[in-house]
Amino acid sequence: QVQLIESGGGSVQAGGSLRLSCVASGDNYGDYCLAWFRQAQGKKREHVAQSFPGRRGITDYADSVKGRFTISRDDAKSTVYLQMNSLEPEDTAMYYCAAHSGYCNDPVPRDFAYWGQGTQVTVSS
């Protein structure tokens, strides 16, 4: 069983930055696909970024955040981060950390067995 705890959300003006963190309990963290999703009020949960297990450092991003957001992981600390720069009001949402064992595939929420409780990000114009 893996427990995920997010932190780092808050309110920021457009153009600002935030860094989200997600700490995991459990073993074999390095073998997990780790991802960030977000859900704006009244909208479906959507993929933001995911980090593939292994040393190659493979990541992928939703088109809406490419060039602005960076996902990174520190397996020794069982932590995944989401650095968010050039934030826009459209980025306002609850952000969730998620994980599943094994290689990353198409980032569909139902494939992720473990979820954090979420952290709110609000971007004002």
DSSP code, position 67 = T
pLDDT, tens only, 18-51: 999 999 997 778 899 999 999 999 999 999 999 9
Tokens matching residue 52: 């593939």
Report how far residue 38's alpha carbon sits from residue 35's, in angstroms, rounded to the nearest whole number.
10
In this structure, are residues 8 and 107 in contact, taking their beta carbons and an 8 Å threshold? no
* CA–CA separation, 9 and 90 (whole Å): 15
pLDDT in tens, 54-92: 888 899 999 999 999 999 999 999 999 999 999 999 999
| CA-based end-to-end distance of the chain | 40
Tell me the three state secondary structure of residue 64: coil
